[in-house]
Amino acid sequence: MEFTGHRAVVVAADWMSAGNQVITASWDRSALLHDSETGEQISVLTGHDQELTDVRSHPSQQLAVTSSKDTTFRLWDFRGPSMLVNVSQGHNQPVTSAVFAGSDKVVSGSDDRTVKVWDLKNMRSPVAAIRVDSSVNRFSVSQTQNLIAIPHDNRHIRIYDINGNRIGRLPRSNRQGHSKMVCSVAWADDNAMCNLFSCGFDRQVLGWSVNLQSKE
C-alpha cells in the first residue's frame, strides 16, 4: 500500500490505535489520516503555520498529536462526530516531538531545550518541566516504565522519569555512543536484552540494554 497526498517531505507516520488507519505528517504543514486497507484519505489536518516535525497516536484512543516548527503542538480528537483540536503554546522554539505517555499525558520537547509533561484534562500548564543543555530531538516514552529517553544535538541521550526526575544518561565515548548528533530514540519495551534503540547523524543505529535496577 502506498499513501499519497502530501506535497512536500513526509517526516513521520504512525498507526492509529485500532490499526486500520495511518496518520502522516509533512513539511507541507498538514497531517493526513489514511485508511490502511484502501489507501483512501479520510481527513486532512491543517492549521499549523510552519512545517510539521512529528506525529504520534494515542495507544488506545482515537487521538493524535502533531508537532511543528511554529512552536506549537496540536491535539486532534477523532472520537466524536466532529473532529476537535486543541492548540498548545507551551514552547518558544520549534517543537521537535510530542508523544503520549500512558492514557492521560502528553510529553513535548523543543529546540528551546525543554521537555514538558502535560495532563490531557488540563493543558493550560505542564505538570512537569525538564530543562536540558541542548536541543531536544525525537524522543521516546516507555509505556511500561514511564521513562523518557531524550536524544540531543550534543550526542547525549538522557533518561528522566515522567515526573521530571533525572535517572541518568547513556555513555558517550569513543567506544560507546554516537559520534554525532543523536536524532531519534525508541524504547523496545518487550525486549529484555535490548530495550532502547538510538540513531544519529553518524549513520549508526545502536541498541542499548538499560538496566534501571543497577542504574547501568
One-letter amino acid identity for 48?
Answer: H
Of the options 2.40.10, 1.20.1440, 3.40.720, 3.30.420, the CATH number for the domain spanning 134-216? 2.40.10
Domains 1-131 and 134-216 share a fold: no
107 grid coordinates:
510529553
Each residue's pLDDT tens digit, 102-126 = 889 999 999 999 999 999 998 889 9
pTM: 0.92
What is the model's pLDDT at position 214?
Answer: 55
Asked if residue 96 lies in contact with residue 109, where contact means CB atoms within 8 angstroms, the answer is yes
What are the residue ranges spanned by the domains of the chain? 1-131, 134-216
Residue 91 to residue 131: CA distance in whole angstroms: 12
Q: Residues 1-131: name the CATH superfamily.
A: YVTN repeat-like/Quinoprotein amine dehydrogenase (2.130.10.10)
What is the model's pLDDT at position 216?
Answer: 52
35 grid coordinates:
485508511
Q: What is the average pLDDT across 154-161?
A: 94
Q: Look at residue 174 and tell me whether its pLDDT is greater than 70.
A: no
pLDDT band at 90 (very low <50, low <70, confident <90, very high): very high
Residue 179 to residue 182: CA distance in whole angstroms: 9
